[in-house]
Amino acid sequence: MKKLGLLRLFICLPLIALIIPNVTESLINPNYKVPLIHVIAGAALVAAIAICTIIIYYLQKQQLKVQYQRNKN
């Protein structure tokens, strides 16, 4: 679970690296269009973050169930 948390953290870094230049260029140049590859890469990174978050949530839920069962017996 810690590995997934780290993966999620490190996936955020390239996402930020994609967003910052596009936003600054959009503010400077109103006619700037974000390249399609940046949109696709950003969407893939957001999807990867979402998948990691869902897996972490599921694993935590399973871990709590196991702890509850142990404490119940």
pLDDT digits (tens, 9 = 90+) for 37-71: 999 999 999 999 999 999 999 999 998 888 888 88
Total tally of structural domains belonging to the chain: 1
Taking the C-alpha atoms of residue 10 and residue 3, their distance in angstroms, rounded to an integer, is 10
Q: Long-range contact list for 23-29, CB < 8 A, 24+ apart?
A: none
- Asked whether the beta carbons of 4 and 56 are under 8 A apart, the reply is yes
18: left (phi over 0), alpha (psi -120 to 50) or beta: alpha
pTM of the model: 0.78
Domain carrying residue 25? 2-72
